[in-house]
Structure 1
Amino acid sequence: MQRRVQRHRLILGGVAGLALLGGALALAWPRPPAEGSADVTFARDMSAHHAQAVEMSVTMVKRAADPAVKLLAQDILLTQQAQIGQMQGWLMAWGRPLAGTEAPLAGMDRTGMGLATPQQVQELAYLPVGVAERQYLQVMRRHHQGGVAMARLALRDLNRPEVRAFAGRVVTAQTSEIGAIDALLARRGVRPPTPTTAPKDEATATPMDGMTHE
């Protein structure tokens, strides 16, 4: 009888210990971000932004004659497709739908984010290859600048450490790729626009004034 009482005490003590441990973990583990939070919005918006880069890069992986352009397109395709999967994985882990009630990037200045027009995306499939390569580089340069600006803007409000780290990597990686794109454009005799001379739709790296939610 005494052994049974001791065993019951041990079991009850173990259950109580597990309950305390679970409570402590619940307090320490951050809650999933709420619908409409900066983290959820960023994951959806950046996924949509990446999706256009992937679409254009798929075309150029198939069409580019310049090995350097083909390699750049392949790198953007693989990297940004993987990042879309990562961001969608976060949304599923947080219990949030992949799409919100609003369309991605709703209320934002698409030109300011460096997004290509539907016509520019379609033209990559049928323009002469050399012309398509140059257009891809110019459009992707603006696209990367918009992605960098989006990530920098989001860093002001993001709370989740993994999302903040991701946004920081976007800034670093895409800024580096802009340099590579500039070198490829220089080989074609194309000078990238500068902040002082570029028209507004060139979406330079610094001014992204229109890139805010309405």
Structure 2
Amino acid sequence: MQRRVRRHRLIRALGAGLVGAAVVGGALAATWPRLPAEGSADVTFARDMSAHHAQAVEMSVTMVKRAADPAVKLLAQDILLTQQAQVGQMQGWLMAWGRPLAGTEAPMAGMNRAHMGLATAQQVQELAYLPVGVAERQYLQVMRRHHQGGVAMAQSALRDVNRPEVRAFAERVITAQTSEIEAIDALLAGRGVRPQTPTTAPKDEAAPTPMDGMTHE
């Protein structure tokens, strides 16, 4: 009789534990963000920022090879390594979320390229054959605008994305690229170049402005 009582108590205790675990598990499932859907802000940001980073990596590869100024070469190397690693991280998210690396539209399709800080195809190509000193200056000027666009993209993402890892990533981008803009300003100042602002930038190379929700034109 005592053995049956102990067995019943054990069964009740195990049952209560399973119920408690189910409640806790259900609560965690309810609070943890769902996997982002196609077209969500998280997926769009991962693809767009990957493409944005890819251009910075391309330009930096050229300057790692060509730059004569050790400070410019070091900056280019840092951007190359950091942003290439971040591209891998964002692509890893897309695979983990069950989303293709590319959507039906090209990344950043229809967006204002100047506001996003993207260099023109000609500017990217010129870095490979302009005199080294000229190429270094152009790289710094173009990369400054590129970083401004990246910061604006990350700030916009913070208003829309849901995944905690994406929010943390966007915050890191803002901090890191803002710091690098300051470093670029110092390098430009050493060359007697005044960084362009929205009031001094040429009309065809307007400085980035905040992008509300990354709206398309």
Query: Scaled by the length of structure 2, what TM-score is found?
Result: 0.86
Report the Cα offset of residue 195 of structure 1.
2.5
2:105 is the alignment partner of 1:96: no
Tell me the residue number matched to 1:179: 182
Counterpart pick for 1:36 among 31, 34, 39: 39
- Tell me the residue number matched to 1:162: 165
Contact 2:47 2:101 in 1 (8 A): yes
AA matched with 2:173: V
Q: 2:91–2:101: 8 Å Cα contact kept in structure 1? A: yes
> Would you say 1:46 and 2:40 are equivalent positions?
no
Segments of 5+ residues of structure 1 without an aligned counterpart are none
Contact 2:117–2:150 (Cα < 8 Å) also in 1? yes
Counterpart of 1:159, as a letter, is N
The alpha-carbon deviation at position 11 of structure 1 amounts to: 7.4
Q: Distance in 2 between matches of 1:152 and 1:195?
A: 18
| Contact 1:142-1:202 within 8 A present in 2 as well | no
Q: 1:91 & 1:157 partners in 2: Cα distance?
A: 17
Contact 1:47 1:84 in 2 (8 A): yes
Q: Is the 8 A contact 1:69 1:133 kept in 2?
A: yes
- Which residue number in structure 2 is paired with residue 64 of structure 1? 67
Contact between 2:114 and 2:208, CA under 8 Å: does it hold in 1? no
Q: Deviations over 1:20-44 (max 9, x none)?
A: 5543432232211111111110011
- Residue ranges of structure 2 left out of the alignment (5+ in a row): none
Q: Find out whether 1:195 has 2:198 as its counterpart.
A: yes
Counterparts of 2:83 and 2:193 in 1: how far apart (Å)?
26
The residue aligned with 1:151 is 154
The 8 Å contact of residues 114 and 207 in structure 2, kept in 1 or not, is answered as no
Q: Is the 8 A contact 1:38 1:157 kept in 2?
A: yes
Residue of structure 2 in register with 1:87 after alignment = 90
Contact 1:145 1:205 (8 Å CA) reproduced: yes
- Which residue number corresponds to residue 213 of structure 1? 216
Offset at 1:150? Answer: 1.1
- Tell me, what secondary structure is at the counterpart of 1:155? helix
134-143 or 194-203: bigger deviation = 194-203
1:25 aligns with 2:32: no
User: Which SS does the other structure have where 1:163 is aligned?
Assistant: helix
1:208, CA displacement in angstroms? 5.4
Matched to 1:82, the amino acid is A
Report the Cα distance in structure 2 between the residues aligned to 1:5 and 1:178, rounded to whole angstroms: 69
What TM-score, normalized by structure 1, do the two folds share? 0.87
